[in-house]
């Protein structure tokens, strides 16, 4: 088998394990704060959930360029292993948190050493032929999305049966396993890097996508509780709502990636941005968990064409063997959006509610669609 195919298969599996571990607790963060860490006021829970969720991305935003620079010197695989093994330790420590600030501090530490997915993207892009780049990026994304699907689902089952703390220990184990597999199987060719001209446009698009998509996330479990009307099996339903988006994302990401190889990544990106913005609007007006599930599923269909196409466009404009620094900057932009979205969402939730956050996210994605369409077209002329 060709080397790029081996790397893709292994890193897709590693991405699956990482995202499964990372998402086991995130969809239930507000419930964890309420039930295990003693918070009672919903607005206070929203603020803490927003800051804790974003803390990982604050430090990740600051340190991603450093890891990108070090990857130029020591290799992408080294950064992959540093991130994977480091996060596995931090995740286990999160299971011993007894106060919200403990979780906040550990999330910040996790952000300092994070970066498995950007390193995986960089490794795949460096070894994949350009004519297969859309397919490779979509396939890699589907691995992470599959982990995102099963993570909340399994986490919901475990939370209802055993509580939240065991999820952290499972998370650490999954991250450790992903790192071992990557250590044994992945190979890379290492060369120097340079900055690409089209990077500012793509970085800004990445930031705006993540900001818009994640601003409502910390409050979705409370929204599910409001719609469900009871605490019975609440964690399961909250996990199911998180998983259903990942199901459609996993299905559509490789298909949209393959289609982007034929008609162009820019077109897929624009259509996906427009579709995602439209699918967010009805989520503000649903009257049941079932309705929310339908619209979240449709949202995932378009989400599958967002980040993979941005990654594919970065690879298209980057000279061979010069990908790591570009993807480290993109990782910082992604982390900045992940950081700002939950913080702003938690802060605004007391004024506009999660319904308002859905509408705000839809507006941001629509404006991003218009801006990206004009900016990328201008770059190509």
Q: Which pTM does this prediction carry?
A: 0.60
- Tokens 């968990």 sit on residue: 289
Q: Which fold has domain 3-380?
A: Growth Hormone; Chain: A; (1.20.1250)
At 294, the pLDDT band (50, 70, 90 cuts) reads very high
* Region label for 106, one of left (φ > 0), alpha (ψ between -120 and 50) or beta (otherwise): alpha
307 φ/ψ sector (left φ>0, alpha ψ -120 to 50, else beta): alpha
Coil, strand, or helix at residue 78?
helix
pLDDT digits (tens, 9 = 90+) for 178-231: 888 888 888 765 544 344 556 777 888 888 888 877 788 778 888 888 888 776
Helix axes 42-74, 324-380, angle to 10 degrees: 100
Backbone angles phi, psi at 90, to 5 degrees: -65, -40
Percent pLDDT > 90 in the chain is 9
pLDDT digits (tens, 9 = 90+) for 105-142: 998 898 888 778 778 887 888 778 878 888 888 888 88
Q: Could you report the per-residue pLDDT of 317-366, keeping only the tens digit for each? A: 766 656 666 777 787 788 778 778 888 887 787 788 888 989 988 998 89
d(CA 197, CA 186): 30
Q: How far apart are CA 259 and CA 219, in angstroms?
A: 34
Distance of CA 97 to the CA centre of its chain: 24
**192 touches 318 (CB < 8 A):** no
Per-residue CA distances from 209 to 29, 130, 305, 326, 366 (Å): 22, 24, 11, 18, 10
Can you tell me the distance from the alpha carbon of 193 to that of 73, in angstroms, rounded to the nearest whole number?
10
State the pLDDT confidence band at 264, using cuts at 50, 70 and 90.
confident
Indicate if the pLDDT at residue 275 is higher than 90.
Answer: yes
> CB within 8 A of 255, min separation 6: which ones?
138, 304
Helix (H, G, I), strand (E, B) or coil at 109: helix
Q: Which residues of 216-225 are buried (b: 16+ CB within 10 A; e: fewer)?
A: bbbbbbbbbb
**What is the rounded distance in angstroms from the CA atom of residue 64 to the CA atom of residue 42?**
33
- Tokens in use for 61? 């935003």
User: Which pLDDT tens digit goes with each residue over 62-100?
Assistant: 887 777 777 766 677 878 888 888 888 888 888 888 888
Model pLDDT, residue 279: 94
CA distances from 113 to 46, 76, 221, 366 (A): 26, 14, 28, 33
Q: What is the 3-state secondary structure (H, E, C) of 334-360?
A: HHHHHHHHHHHHHHHHHHHHHHHHHHH
What is the radius of gyration, based on Cα positions, of the chain?
A: 19
pLDDT of the residue at 280: 93
Query: Whole-angstrom Cα distance, residue 90 to residue 214?
Result: 23
Report the distance separating Cα 117 and Cα 106, nearest Å. Answer: 19
Q: Give dist(CA 332, CA 59) in Å, integer.
A: 9
Predicted local distance difference test score (pLDDT) of residue 276: 92
Q: What distances in angstroms separate CA 170 from CA 22, 167, 198, one per listed residue?
A: 10, 5, 40
H or E segment to which residue 232 belongs: none
Contact 224, 290 (CB under 8 A): no
Burial class of residue 310, CB neighbours in 10 A (0-12, 13-18, 19+): buried
Angle between helical axes of 289-303 and 234-263 (0-180°, round to 10): 30
């Amino acid at each position: 088998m060709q080397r790029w195919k081996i790397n893709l298969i292994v890193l897709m599996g590693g991405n699956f394990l990482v995202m499964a571990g990372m998402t086991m607790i995130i969809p239930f963060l507000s419930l964890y704060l309420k039930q295990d860490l003693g918070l009672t006021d919903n607005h206070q829970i929203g603020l803490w959930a927003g800051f804790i969720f974003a803390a990982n991305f604050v430090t990740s935003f600051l340190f991603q360029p450093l890891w990108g620079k070090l990857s130029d010197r020591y290799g992408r695989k080294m950064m992959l292993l540093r991130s994977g093994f480091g996060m596995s330790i931090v995740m286990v420590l999160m299971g011993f948190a007894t106060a919200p600030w403990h979780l906040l501090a550990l999330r910040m530490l996790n952000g300092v050493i994070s970066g498995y997915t950007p390193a995986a993207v960089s490794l795949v892009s460096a070894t994949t032929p350009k004519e297969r780049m859309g397919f490779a990026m979509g396939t890699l994304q589907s691995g992470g999305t599959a982990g995102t699907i099963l993570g909340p689902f399994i986490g919901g089952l475990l939370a209802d049966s055993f509580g939240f703390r065991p999820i952290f220990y499972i998370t650490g184990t999954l991250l450790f396993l992903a790192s071992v597999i990557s250590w044994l199987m992945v190979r890379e060719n290492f060369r120097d890097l340079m900055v690409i001209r089209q990077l500012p446009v793509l970085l800004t698009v990445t930031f705006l996508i993540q900001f818009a998509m994640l601003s409502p996330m910390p409050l979705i479990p409370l929204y599910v509780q409001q719609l469900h009307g009871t605490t019975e099996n609440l964690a399961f339903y909250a996990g199911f709502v998180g998983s259903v988006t990942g199901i459609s994302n996993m299905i559509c990401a490789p298909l949209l990636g393959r289609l982007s190889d034929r008609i162009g990544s820019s077109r897929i990106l624009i259509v996906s941005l427009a579709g995602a913005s439209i699918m967010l609007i009805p989520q503000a007006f649903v009257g049941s968990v079932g309705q929310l599930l339908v619209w979240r599923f449709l949202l995932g269909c378009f989400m599958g064409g967002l980040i993979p196409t941005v990654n594919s466009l970065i690879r298209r404009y980057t000279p061979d063997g010069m990908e790591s620094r570009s993807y480290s900057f993109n990782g910082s932009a992604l982390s900045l959006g992940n950081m700002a979205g939950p913080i702003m969402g938690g802060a605004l939730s007391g004024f506009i509610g999660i319904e308002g956050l859905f509408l705000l996210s839809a507006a941001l994605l629509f404006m991003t669609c218009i801006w990206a369409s004009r900016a990328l077209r201008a770059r190509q002329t």
